[in-house]
Structure 1
Amino acid sequence: MSFKLSFLLLMNVFIVIFFFAVRKSLAAEEDYFTICSVSRNCGRLNIKFPFFILEQDSACGYPGFNISCRNNTQPILSFPDGDYVIHDIFYQNQSFRVSKDIAFARDAVCSHSISNISFPEDRFYLPSDQRQIFLLFNCDLTLLTRELSQSKVNCSAEANTTLALFNNDPMQYFASEMCNNTVVAPVATSYEGEGSIEDILNRGFVLNWIASNCSTCEASGGKCGFDYSTYHFKCFCPDRPHAWYCPPGNDSTGFVIKVATASSVAGAVVLILLVVCLIKRFSFKDGTEGDKKIEAFLKGHEFQTPKRYRYSDIKTMTNSFRDKLGKGGFGDVYRGKLPDGRQVAVKILNKSKGNGEEFMNEVASVSRTSHVNVVSLLGFCFEGRRRALIYEFMKNGSLNKFIFQEKEQRQLKWETLYQIAVGIARGLEYLHRGCNMRILHFDIKPHNILLDDEFRPKISDFGLARLCPEKESAISMTGARGTAGYIAPEVYSRNFGRVSHKSDVYSYGMMILEMVGGRQNINVEVDHTSEIYFPYWIYSRIELDEDLGLQGVMDEDDRERVRKMIIVSLWCIQTDPSNRPPMSRVVEMMEGNIDSLCIPPKPFSSSPPRSPPANPEVQPVS
């Protein structure tokens, strides 16, 4: 009897403590809404999420976006290489203009006291169209050409000659050979060529930020913030924080109601604790090793991964999988709609992929990206064997349906195909160079290029992707991965070289040849009477400057676009990986003058056998 009395007394004490803890927590949550509602300014700029001023509560901003307001007039953001002054913030497109917290003068430009910028690439990235200025120091005067002389900076000491060129200058690569050192500085595109070199540097450059979009939360009456206990975005509302937005009818009365009912909630705490204990004890008892591996992965990457949905949410947003968009290498894709009305594409991963490699590849790779030519991952679902990935919806589907047709049925103009090829190149350049971890895709093909309503391309399907440190190029791989017809020779056999980002370059080149010829590379027939391998055939025509007989070529501009696409793709499919250009060079070749392109060496020694592999889809080997 005394034991029961002691137990009841202990439970009552616990319930009282829990009640006050809930009440205190709710009051604190209401305080965040009030604190983050206060308007903050530094000089003429309004400072709001994801930025926050140091004196403000950090929960009102995003980690790493803390600003110090110097003399109440200058917003200062600190990067690893020093302080930067924020000149403008463009909240509508998540970008801002900054410059180093120093005044660039002619002496600094001439004396090589300028260094490359360094910023946290897990939070910020340079826009793809951002211009860059190349400052080349200690250049050899005897090798200066007339064109390069116009780029010379007037320094007092001729022996310390400095050149300044923009990244669209064709003389940039020649100049780098005659100078001892190079510093690359991004500059705001609109200011290129306006004023002196010092003026251009002092005006700064534009950075985009990687953080949750605040517009949905603010539109619902909430204030954007960050929950450091869960390390996730929070929308602070009058009643309490919500994941993304405040529900309709949300006001301060909700707080009173929750406090009034807190005692009822506390009464069920014992049951909840028992349930939690049971879940912890049995949650993985029947799960596979692959499931445990994925859960550990998601836990370790919680800050980087997008929103996690329940399987019931997936069924709701897809209307019980009513509208099937297509079938990919790892599962079926359905049309869906998020609660805020946005259309999405939902990929339901095949149950047969037991170890979950493709799921983790997609989440790990795409979550690190933010680029106009890379598809955006908006969410995911993982409930044991039920796995789904939620992507932005692309109205025009995949590229393959626009190029694998009879010639007279070609739907896209050559100008559009050319712009698609350039966009894919920019996306691959970003994956290889624009992320803090280099992302190798390993499955570049028309099926994995999606087109939006304006036919802008986006790279998708990262199920075979691999991550490697930015400064590392070659990787070790125990088996071939990719799709036959697009796989680089070194992926099949290491006798051709080491597997690296150049393997994606090869796949890109083969895909561009398909866009030109309108034929799949696993089919080696050129026409009804010829069995010549298409890249071999087209190389011989380009080498002899013969007409290609392609449909839809309307004028000289079209002929130039086609020839440029062919020459660049032939460079990309060189058998030796070291002879292939990096994607940054591919972009420059595609956007540059056709007269500056030379025909590459023959990229193959002989035509491949006529019969394609029995299984064209080569899956990864663990």
Structure 2
Amino acid sequence: MFRGMNVLLPCYIAFLLQLLVFQTCHSSNITAHCAPSSCGNIQNISYPFRLNTDPQSCGNNNYNLSCENNISTVLYLYSGKYYVQAINYGNYTIRVVDAGVQGNCCSIPRYSLARDNFSYGDPYTWYNYKQVLPPGVGEGFVDYRGYYWGGRLPPTLSQPMIFMSCENTVNSPLYVDTAPYGLNYGSGNYSNSSLVTHSNYVTLGGMNASDLMELCSIEKIFLLPKKNYTDNYSFEEIHSDLANGFELSWYNINCEKCRRGCYLNSADHRRCIGFHESYRQIILYTVAELLTTIALLHGLKVVCGTPCVIIFLIYKWRRRHLSVYDTVEQFLQSQNNLMPVRYSYSDIKKITRGFKDELGKGGFGTVYKGKLRSGRFAAIKLLGKSKANGQDFINEVATIGRIHHTNVVQLIGFCAEGSKRALVYDFMPNGSLDSHLFSQEGSISLSWQKLHQISLGVACGIDYLHLGCDMQILHFDIKPHNILLDENFTPKVSDFGLARLYPTNGSITSLTAARGTIGYMAPELFYKNIGRVSYKADVYSFGMLLLEMAGKRKNLNALAENSSQIYWPYWVHDQVSDGKAIEIGDDATEEESKIVKKMIMVGLWCIQMKPMDRPTMKNVVEMLEGDLENLRLPPKPVFNVDETPTNIEGESSSLSGDSTESTSLVENAY
């Protein structure tokens, strides 16, 4: 093996040298400095810029400009057209304006352009090439990545301006109304846009998801010059700056040795952004790493071999015992398409006013009421120490973070800062469903019509989790405590700490341990011979929930007056099959009696022993929406197993003897 490696080593080094030569040739592929060109008001267009009519040997092709009718100098950038207003060769900036912007306030930009459009190493950047240190911060405070304690260097040249359309008028200091200026949307790409028909606003400096008001949507993002506006600035002032244009830096022409661009530090020394390394340095590091590996393989016997083995074993041990924080952070780094906002822990403390208003406690932590910068109320769940390597936090962010449905609680944001982890949800003023079902003090008594609407909403939410996403989401903890109610008593499925994501092309999944709350868990989670675990486990849990809603009582009640009523599903099945009426109150109407009977029959179908006998959630929605006359009574759900339960100790946090306490959101949290 070593002899073969000796043969491959020269080949590998030759390949690296070829890369070095290629990089040198590529870097030297610089075109000639020619006589300056001009177009309209832009005079002395010189290196690195060139007009598209100049000889190929002039300028740099990355800085190509066009001359339109010998009047306007045009820069085409990321599929957008921009008119050049000025080129400053002293500070390496070019000022451009969107082709759709005219001198009057009626015009708006045609092309979206945000900081996310720019990549490291692009010819143009939105930040200044010159590093400026704040007072009291010396060069020694700047680390190898070009960071200092408190922010990123160098400073920016522009700031984002966001165009939004809102179905209703908005009263917020963050939103600037454009209505008084009669914007002309026909001049841009807006003919089919909601900007034409809705109320329109702009905000400056970017925004968090929590700042986006209800029934508002982001239409376009543009760049403005970096400027501090007064408190009462108008769209007229903003438009004036739009017409003047924004600046981009072209200093990257001097950064051929840096993969991600470069800048000048406060001592006028050129520094690469990110790691201070060139391609040659990378090659040297790679060669050195290869030689070190070969030396280890050949071995230095006792002197070097023993320390290397020890270091290797320590490294493997640390990899095997990754901390909770590493696991969570790795997950967040891999999920760069998540919509929720990532808050710092200091933000969380400000939102909750120092954790003053506690709403409740649960298995995974404490929930506090807070207020976002936009004025919107939120519920912040501050998670305690995880027993599952941060999996509860990962489950919630991975599931709720990627979906939006009227019957699923919305995750606004999250915090993952060392051991501090928090989840920020929409605030639900009417609390959880169980507080209204089981006659808690101060709760509002819900009518049978409202309970039926709530049950239908929950069914729609679970059906969406099963079939409405690109991944199938199994909740595994459906129960009254995890159904939250907003100000209109619209139900929201919450608490995804036990949820799992699965591909939509298969309905069967394997679990190492039972998960959920006793009293709502499907029998196949305990007994293998009943059937494989699938989305039908959530159907079973919903059936138990539905029966509790129909009876306004727990399914298992050891203190029931009649022993036959201890287990409600058995008793109510016998009542319906014998044609007896279910007592729901002396003043109940015939329509209310039908609603209750329908909920009972659908619930009994959902809790059938075998998963294959249960309906899908789509069928459940159809049954709840349909007529009672179309339903037939299912068989009595009788347990008959010949096998001991499967392991329920694998995830101790997922079970509880009390059916009202498990891995749920907090009691009366919202």
TM-score range, shorter chain: 0.5 to 0.7
Please tell me whether residue 311 in structure 1 is matched to residue 310 in structure 2.
no
Partner of 1:518: 552
Partner of 2:625: 591
From 555, 567, 581, the counterpart of 2:601: 567
Equivalent residue runs for 1:417-436 within 5 Å: 417-436=451-470
Please tell me whether residue 238 in structure 1 is matched to residue 224 in structure 2.
yes
Query: How far did residue 354 of structure 1 move?
Result: 5.4
Output the CA distance in 2 between the equivalents of 1:238 and 1:344.
32
Equivalent residue runs for 1:125-524 within 5 Å: 218-220=201-203, 236=222, 238-240=224-226, 252=241, 266-267=265-266, 288-353=322-387, 355-405=389-439, 411-521=445-555, 523-524=557-558
Query: How far did residue 605 of structure 1 move?
Result: 3.9
Does the C-alpha gap of structure 1 residues 461 and 224 become closer, same or farther in structure 2, counting only changes over 3 Å?
closer
Query: How far did residue 329 of structure 1 move?
Result: 3.1
Report if aligned partners of 1:234, 1:241 keep a CA contact under 8 Å in 2: no
Output the aligned Cα RMSD: 4.7
Q: Secondary structure at the match of 1:415?
A: helix
TM-score under structure 1 length normalisation: 0.58
Query: How far did residue 499 of structure 1 move?
Result: 0.8
Report if aligned partners of 1:429, 1:584 keep a CA contact under 8 Å in 2: yes
Output the CA distance in 2 between the equivalents of 1:225 and 1:339.
9
Instruction: Return 250-259 or 496-505, whichever deviates more.
Output: 250-259
Quick one: which amino acid aligns to residue 391 of structure 1? Y
Does the C-alpha gap of structure 1 residues 615 and 455 become closer, same or farther in structure 2, counting only changes over 3 Å?
closer
Query: How far did residue 549 of structure 1 move?
Result: 1.3
Output the CA distance in 1 between the equivalents of 2:367 and 2:608.
35
TM-score under structure 2 length normalisation: 0.54
Quick one: which amino acid aligns to residue 488 of structure 2? E
Output the CA distance in 2 between the equivalents of 1:269 and 1:552.
87
From 616, 619, 624, the counterpart of 1:582: 616
Partner of 2:260: none
Query: How far did residue 370 of structure 1 move?
Result: 1.1
Larger radius of gyration between Structure 1 and Structure 2: 2
Query: How far did residue 482 of structure 1 move?
Result: 0.6
Gaps of 5+ in 1: 1-19, 40-47, 63-89, 95-208, 210-214, 227-231, 278-284
Does the C-alpha gap of structure 1 residues 224 and 307 become closer, same or farther in structure 2, counting only changes over 3 Å?
closer
Query: How far did residue 520 of structure 1 move?
Result: 2.6
Q: For residues 348-371 of structure 1, what are the alpha-carbon distances to aligned partners after superposition, in whole Å with 9 as ceiling and x for unaligned?
A: 011244511011100000022111
Q: For residues 133-172 of structure 1, what are the alpha-carbon distances to aligned partners after superposition, in whole Å with 9 as ceiling and x for unaligned?
A: xxxxxxxxxxxxxxxxxxxxxxxxxxxxxxxxxxxxxxxx
Report if aligned partners of 1:221, 1:237 keep a CA contact under 8 Å in 2: no
Q: Which has the higher contact order (CA 8 A, sep 6+)?
A: 2
Does the C-alpha gap of structure 1 residues 619 and 558 become closer, same or farther in structure 2, counting only changes over 3 Å?
closer
Does the C-alpha gap of structure 1 residues 581 and 327 become closer, same or farther in structure 2, counting only changes over 3 Å?
same
Equivalent residue runs for 1:58-73 within 5 Å: none
Output the CA distance in 2 between the equivalents of 1:346 and 1:570.
36
Q: For residues 233-266 of structure 1, what are the alpha-carbon distances to aligned partners after superposition, in whole Å with 9 as ceiling and x for unaligned?
A: 9954634599xx999769659999999xxxx994
Q: For residues 13-58 of structure 1, what are the alpha-carbon distances to aligned partners after superposition, in whole Å with 9 as ceiling and x for unaligned?
A: xxxxxxx999768x68xx5xx549759xxxxxxxx9xxx98xx457
Q: For residues 458-480 of structure 1, what are the alpha-carbon distances to aligned partners after superposition, in whole Å with 9 as ceiling and x for unaligned?
A: 11111110000112111110001
Report if aligned partners of 1:573, 1:580 keep a CA contact under 8 Å in 2: yes
Q: Percent identical across equivalent pairs? A: 42
Does the C-alpha gap of structure 1 residues 477 and 216 become closer, same or farther in structure 2, counting only changes over 3 Å?
farther
Partner of 1:149: none
Does the C-alpha gap of structure 1 residues 545 and 240 become closer, same or farther in structure 2, counting only changes over 3 Å?
farther
Output the CA distance in 2 between the equivalents of 1:347 and 1:600.
41
Does the C-alpha gap of structure 1 residues 225 and 519 become closer, same or farther in structure 2, counting only changes over 3 Å?
closer
Report if aligned partners of 2:345, 2:420 keep a CA contact under 8 Å in 1: yes
Q: Size of the alignment, in residue pairs?
A: 418
Partner of 2:585: 551
Q: Secondary structure at the match of 2:224?
A: coil
